[in-house]
Structure 1
Amino acid sequence: DHKISRAIVDWCLARGVSTIRMEKLEGIRRRKTRKRDFGRSLHSWSFYRLQQFIAYKARLAGIRVEWVNPKETSRTCPRCGHCAKENRNGIRFRCRKCGYRGHADAVGAWNISLAISGLAEAA
């Protein structure tokens, strides 16, 4: 996680990136509660830890960090803004309004980069 976060921040510095947006992961374990997850905490989850390392190193480098609510990001069309449960089918995304197609995770990442959810908190 340290090497990956350093590489990400270095990549951003080399390209003049001034803001990194990431999805806010708080509460994610509450959504997926299974018996085997009871002993785990969000703080030991690799994605969360990687985000914390990126945020820490980005701030030291003078890069702003914003946290975005991920709700509906992979169901919302990044082209026309239409949001519907039917837009996503597994990993496939197809907008029912404008016909845009893509990978649901890529669509979610695109929308997070645009902060479409309305929640972008500077940290």
Structure 2
Amino acid sequence: MYIIQCYAPINNSNDDIKDQFYERMQSIIKHCPRKNLTILMGDINAKVGIDNTGYEDIMGRHELGERSENGGRFVNLCAWNKLVIGGTIFPRKRIIKATWISSDHITENQIDHICIN
């Protein structure tokens, strides 16, 4: 079993920093044999959204909001490595989905994720 815990750059970080992070994540994941259980989890800072068109095999439609730029990067990483984004598969109450809530309690996002192969 391989467990990868990470903290991703925020959405408005420099593109070079985000590219380096996702390249590093890919280099780590590729060393995990596909026959073994791999779990990727952490503060991904990525909204994957509810539109799973083209990604039906790795994500469901039970998420909050629309996909962010980081969400696109994260979904592509998961698709490339056949990692299922767990929090999107089953319907749950909105309050349970939110992993980040603004200080004024108006904005809720689901930016922390757990994925499994």
Q: As a proportion of its length, which structure holds more helix? A: 1
Please say which structure displays the higher CA radius of gyration. Answer: 1
TM more than 0.5: no
TM (norm. structure 1) is 0.30
